Amino acid sequence: NAIVDITNYIMLSVGQPTHAFDRTHVTGEKIVVRNAKSDEKLELLDGENIELTHEDLVICDIEGPIALAGIRGGKKDSILDDTVDVVLEVANFTAGAIRNTGKRFDEKTDASIRYEKGIDTQRVDQGLALGIKLFKEIFPEAEFTAFKDVNPIETKRAEVDVTKDFLDTRLGKVLDDNEISDTLGRLGFDVEFKNGVFHTVAPTWRSTGDISMRDDVLGEIARLVGYENFEAKPLPVNFENAVHQIEMDLNRHLREHLAFRCGFNEIFTYPWIDEKYIKAAKIDMAKGVRLATPPAPELATLRQSLVPGALEAVVKNLRYYDEFKIFEVAEVFEKGEFHPSSEDETLPIHKLMLTGAVVGKDAKSLFFDAKGVVESLPRYCHMNGYQFKQVEKPSWADSEVYLNILNDDKEIVGSLGLVSVATLSDAGVKKASAAVFELDVKKLVPFTSRTNEFEHLPQFPLVEEDLSLLADEDVKWEDIYEAIKYMAKEVSFIEEYRGSQIPEGKKSIMIRIKLGNDDSTMTAKQIEKKTKNILNVLAKKTGVTLREE
């Protein structure tokens, strides 16, 4: 259709979309551009019926909408083969309004693509003039019976100030003031240079968002001067010593040691925890941070400990494995006490924690495996050591089989223990046992230097002595170790035994001591004397005696 071809030609020639209506189907003597009403509907050229909202811009006659402004015309007033009376619309619309409506109805046309990017209002005059010319050429007998120009506002020209120093620095080349002014003038800019500043006024066809800041002006100058005319200069790079982040090193060492040396698998859990596992671990939920919009009703609390997440992972993995080891290093959250900018709100307290779980059948061996792993951390992770002592039972631990982990200041930095039967049952674990440890990573003290201090290997052989001791039930291994740890080269636990040969209320503890001198080999008399001194100290401090076979 020649009329439709004319509108397409105008759009492709000057970049201004136009639309033609069949005058015989336009009701009344005027066309109105307005926002649609909520209950209005429109059938588009492609036959699609759409329900309009007050946010949609429409072209209307006195009866209602006849086109979706800037996007697509209506079917009612479309150009047909027998059309003889035409209303030609050449308009400019706000880019945002066209973009939002097009997105709402999933409509993308050649016209809307141009309107969405912003069109210079001067193109309306150019499009109209070209349209008149084409109608006269193609339809010599055509008559123009009416004309109306509504709201003829010119596009405001963009004004940008650019300093000469900025251009010289960014271009890497000093250009003459007149050369810069002439270059911009060739592009339609008005340029005034005063006191080292170029005041530039962009032409209207570059003022619809194309030119808005000094970097845009810089780009225009560089483009016309020619990128090939700028000398390539490598950027200077100053190398500095790498920052040694001991906290990050400790985090990495912990992960690598557990994964590569101890055979653990690392897990990653969400910060929100199913309340079932929080309750199973007997953790006070009142101290937890609640989510305003949780992903699920049962996932409304952020974790205060990594143990509930480990319990959930244990339950899931027991479906496939009978024995395994898992660990996680992640942040936990507790209710805060203050907010830096608001008296009515508090920020949650963040703690970086490490937890591990050793899962299997033999509860006793699981506990000692977990304890051995925790004992190995200071050596292999380059940090200060700690000691074990029963001070405060973790809520999830067995009442008898647990240890607290204390630093040099006697502050609790973690806990270790067998998971209680009640906790396992509440979590859904029926046919397995688990030993769990949890440490506050921020309270672990990494070494500040990577320099190692070595001790000489012993020049003279050490003597091993296994001592079977008879102790009261309330005497712990740590009491024995603390009493004699400085009297021998090494003191280690072997086993604990109860049986018919052991008096009621007593238990047998076997320990191994290593004795030696730095300047000579120990004689039998020296060994006997040293062993006797150790037994005397044990009897005095702990009441432990040598067991008689």
Question: Residue 509: which CATH number?
Answer: 3.30.70.380
pLDDT tens profile 511-536:
999 999 988 999 999 999 999 999 99
346: containing domain: 246-443
Q: Please say whether the beta carbons of 283 and 259 come within 8 A.
A: no
**Do residue 52 and residue 119 come from a single domain?**
yes
Domains in the chain: how many in total?
Answer: 4
Residue 79 lies in a domain: yes
The helices-and-strands tally (H runs, E runs) of the chain is: 14, 24
**Do residue 277 and residue 319 come from a single domain?**
yes
Per mean pLDDT, which range of 196-205, 332-341, 460-469 is the poorest? 332-341
**Do residue 433 and residue 491 come from a single domain?**
no
Q: Please say whether the beta carbons of 547 and 468 come within 8 A.
A: yes
Average pLDDT of the segment spanning 193-202: 94
> For residue 340, what pLDDT band results from cuts at 50, 70 and 90?
low
**Do residue 251 and residue 223 come from a single domain?**
no
Burial code (b: 16+ CB inside 10 Å, e: under 16) for 491-512 equals: beeeeeeeeeeeeeeebbbebe
**Do residue 289 and residue 438 come from a single domain?**
yes
Q: 154 to each of 121, 130, 203, 393, how far by Cα in Å?
A: 6, 19, 11, 79
**Do residue 316 and residue 395 come from a single domain?**
yes
**Do residue 299 and residue 397 come from a single domain?**
yes
**Do residue 9 and residue 130 come from a single domain?**
yes
Residue 146 lies in a domain: no
Residue 308 lies in a domain: yes
The candidate with the shortest Cα–Cα distance to 446, out of 298, 252, 166, 297, is: 252
**Do residue 376 and residue 486 come from a single domain?**
no
pLDDT tens profile 387-413:
898 899 999 999 999 999 999 888 999
Which domain CATH number covers 305?
3.30.930.10
> For residue 61, what pLDDT band results from cuts at 50, 70 and 90?
very high
Residue 456 lies in a domain: no
> For residue 69, what pLDDT band results from cuts at 50, 70 and 90?
very high
pLDDT at 342 over 90: no
What mean pLDDT value characterizes the chain?
91
> For residue 82, what pLDDT band results from cuts at 50, 70 and 90?
confident
> Which of 202, 229, 256 is the C-terminal boundary of a domain?
229
pLDDT tens profile 538-547:
999 999 999 8
What pLDDT is attached to residue 424?
Answer: 96
The candidate with the shortest Cα–Cα distance to 403, out of 418, 424, 385, is: 418
Q: CB under 8 Å to 242, separation ≥6 — which residues?
A: none
pTM of the full structure: 0.56
Alpha-helical (H) ranges within 343-500 are: 363-380, 421-427, 477-484
What pLDDT is attached to residue 339?
Answer: 60
How many Å is the maximal CA-CA distance in the chain? Answer: 135
Torsion, CA 276, CA 280, CA 283, CA 287, rounded to 10: 10
Residue 236 lies in a domain: no
pLDDT at 111 over 90: yes
Residue 420 lies in a domain: yes
The candidate with the shortest Cα–Cα distance to 88, out of 152, 12, 155, 148, is: 148
Q: CB under 8 Å to 65, separation ≥6 — which residues?
A: 36, 40, 42, 52, 58, 59, 74
What pLDDT is attached to residue 338?
Answer: 64
Q: Residues of the chain with pLDDT > 90: what percent?
A: 70
What pLDDT is attached to residue 518?
Answer: 85
- 334 membership: H or E segment, kind and range: strand 324-334
Residue 453 lies in a domain: no
**Do residue 437 and residue 491 come from a single domain?**
no
